[in-house]
């Protein structure tokens, strides 16, 4: 651009481009080492460039500041990183979709307060995590959109007197446009905060999945077997298999949340425009991106290797009076006010507990003793599969709704691939 608008000659521009390539290769290979006396990486590059191409190297920095260059570099880095994160989320979503497809007809207990609540399809449970990670992907896309403007040309804080072509450079670098205020351009790190905030929330979602897998893989639950490569044995107790990766997914959330807090703390007291404090925004950004990307990739493999104990899940659905709500809904459908119907269902649960049986074992006479509206057709309401499929509404666990959501997810992933 400098050559195109006549600020430097085409010959100098060519020498600079060739020389920068040589310096980059020499630094990457270790042939050249960074020299601390040259202050920073920018001056190292410029000095080594001048050594190779002479006076043309000293023209590299024309119309540019380290301030706008670093702001641009960080946006370029983040744009690429978000692309990788998006691919990693999609790989995890594909693994979830495969498991959900295999377990559309597997019943599982749904929980609130970690207490068995109502029966659901295991696929519906798994697709809840797909919703979480899809929202995470959307947050990163939104952050990328705001990050995708070029600060180059903002200079140190007040632009430049040279007739540069900011829009042309932005287009060449793939930016959607340019920043609109030079002071803000060099001091802004909101784009980093947004990305790290999205990373922190995504890591929290991974932590929730990790926690559930720790519980479900325990002997107390026994709902799932984790792939061996994602676990470790005990150094003392030969019978134990420890859920290492799910536990680390929980722990890593603290690290990424810490990155967000560190980043916000650096920014909270800064006056305009650039301050050296901003150097400390880079490490938490890099750490959050690298931690989340690694965790997403590992989790995709973990999910793909899960083996669910279908029989045990089914037994759990049949224990704990999970169809109690069906009794209340049955009565409400017969015209009984719901609050009274709820009270009747609660009384019948207490009756079943006293007898040591499930609700389905209560006789019609016992049911009618609490509410005469019960009839023979109540038995069908107490079948878990029928109870699930009656919930045939958008977002519900009925078979057709689950299949429709699964197909929508699979189509989106196919189109993005």
Q: Which of 29, 37, 113, 363 is catalytic?
A: 113
Crossing angle, helix 282-304 and helix 244-267, to 10 degrees?
A: 160
**Nearest to 291, CA basis, from 261, 263, 256, 251:** 256
Beta bridge partners of 177: 149
342 is catalytic: no
Q: Where are the beta strands (DSSP E) in 192-351?
A: 224-225, 232-233, 241-242, 307-308
Run of H or E residues at 387: helix 384-389
Q: In this structure, what DSSP letter does residue 201 have?
A: H
Measured N-to-C along each axis, helices 122-147 and 190-217 cross at an angle, to the nearest 10 degrees, of: 170
Residues in the chain: 417
- The reply to whether 125 belongs to the active site is no
Contact 106, 308 (CB under 8 A): yes
CA distance 400 to 417: 26
Tell me the C-alpha distance between 188 and 119, whole Å: 49
Q: What is the DSSP letter of 294?
A: H
Pick the closest to residue 227 from 240, 238, 243, 239 (CA basis): 243
Q: Find tokens 């749904």 and name the residue.
A: 110
**Residues in Cβ contact with 162 at an 8 Å cutoff, skipping those fewer than 6 apart:** 7, 62, 63
Cα–Cα distance, 280 to 31 (Å, whole number)? 29
The answer to whether residues 198 and 136 touch, using CB atoms and an 8 Å cutoff, is yes
Residues annotated as catalytic are 113, 234
């Amino acid at each position: 651009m400098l050559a195109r608008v006549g600020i430097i000659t085409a010959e100098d521009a060519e020498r600079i481009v060739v020389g920068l390539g040589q310096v980059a290769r020499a630094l990457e290979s270790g042939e050249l080492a960074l020299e601390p006396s040259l202050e920073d990486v920018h001056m190292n590059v410029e000095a080594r460039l001048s050594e190779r191409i002479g006076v043309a190297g000293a023209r590299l920095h024309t119309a540019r500041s380290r301030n706008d260059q670093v702001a641009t570099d960080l946006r370029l880095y983040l744009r690429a990183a978000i692309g990788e994160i998006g691919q990693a989320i999609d790989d995890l979503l594909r693994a979830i979709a495969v498991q959900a497809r295999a377990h559309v007809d597997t019943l599982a207990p749904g929980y609130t307060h970690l207490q068995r609540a109502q029966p659901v399809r295991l696929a519906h449970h798994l697709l809840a995590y797909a919703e979480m990670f899809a929202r995470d992907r959307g947050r990163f896309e939104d952050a990328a959109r705001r990050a995708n403007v070029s600060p180059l040309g903002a200079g140190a804080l007040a632009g430049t007197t040279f007739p540069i072509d900011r829009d042309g450079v932005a287009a060449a670098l793939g930016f959607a446009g340019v920043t609109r205020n030079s002071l803000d351009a060099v001091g802004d790190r909101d784009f980093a905060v947004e990305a790290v905030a999205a990373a922190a929330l995504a890591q929290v979602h991974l932590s929730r999945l990790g926690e559930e897998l720790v519980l479900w893989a325990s002997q107390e639950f026994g709902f799932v077997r984790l792939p061996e490569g994602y676990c470790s044995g005990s150094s003392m107790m030969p019978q134990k298999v420890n859920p290492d990766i799910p536990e680390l997914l929980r722990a890593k959330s603290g690290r990424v949340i810490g990155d967000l807090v560190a980043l916000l703390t650096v920014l909270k007291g800064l006056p305009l425009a650039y301050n050296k404090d901003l150097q400390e925004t880079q490490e938490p950004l890099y750490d959050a991106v690298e931690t989340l990307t690694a965790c997403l990739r590992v989790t995709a493999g973990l999910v793909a290797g899960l083996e669910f104990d279908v029989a045990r899940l089914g037994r759990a659905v049949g224990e704990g009076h999970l169809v109690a709500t069906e009794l209340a809904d049955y009565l409400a459908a017969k015209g009984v006010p719901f609050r009274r119907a709820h009270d009747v269902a609660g009384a019948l649960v207490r009756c079943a507990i006293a007898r040591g049986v499930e609700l389905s074992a209560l006789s019609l006479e016992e049911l009618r003793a609490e509410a005469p509206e019960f009839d023979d057709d109540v038995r069908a309401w107490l079948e878990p599969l029928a109870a699930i499929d009656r919930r045939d509404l958008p977002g519900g666990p009925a078979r057709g709704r689950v299949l429709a959501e699964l197909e929508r997810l699979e189509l989106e992933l196919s189109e993005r691939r």
